[in-house]
Amino acid sequence: MKKGRGSSQEIIIDLTSLLDIIFILLAVIIFALIGRTNESKLAQKNAEYELNQAESLESKAKQDEIQAESKAKAYADLAETFSNIQNYVWQVSIVVPYDPNDYRKREIQIYTKEQEFITVGLTGSNVNGEYEDFEKELIDYIEKHKNEPVFISLNDKDHLILYRDEKRITEIIRKLQQDYKNVYIKNSSEEEHS
């Protein structure tokens, strides 16, 4: 067999399908890189958000701490002021209990800031002298503390008093308040009955 001049075998390689595969692989790699870039950007944004949240919480905690310290100082100052005020304010508490079984026997009990306890007995219906003794005791106490405020309370948180005693004692206290500029009435039981 003779081979002719034009009979040489030529090998033709079709690169079209190979190029298709290369471009597909290249596209997959590019998309994978883009996806990783997006994931890292998202992770970075999440990290920045969490960092901002942590900074915000830290800032709020510092503000709360400063506010708490400020309040603690204010309360300490208030307690000190209250303690100092107690050194300059005098209080008298008057209680007039009676026995519901025998309302003719009753007594005026005077309690003072200095833990003094003075009792004026009221027996019967004519007790003008006893009321005068009570008034003298209050005047002595007020005179003793004439440069400081004196707060007088009648039956503070106690309603066991006869109306006639309450009325007369309230009149005496109001008269003393008019006569002395340092006398103040606190929790008058007459106001509670109004």
Quick: pLDDT tens for 22-60.
Answer: 888 888 888 888 878 877 888 888 888 988 998 899 989
Quick: pLDDT tens for 85-105.
Answer: 666 777 788 888 777 787 777
pLDDT at 6: 55
Q: Where are the alpha helices (DSSP H) in 128-188?
A: 128-144, 163-179
Residue 38's φ and ψ, nearest 5 degrees, are -65, -40
CA angle, 186 then 190 then 191, to 5°: 65
Selection from 91, 119, 100 nearest residue 161 by Cα: 100
The 10 Å Cβ neighbour count of residue 113 is 15
For residue 146, CA distances in Å to 118, 138, 142, 149, 181 come to 19, 12, 6, 8, 9
pTM over 0.85: no
* Interatomic CA distance for residues 135 and 172, integer angstroms: 7
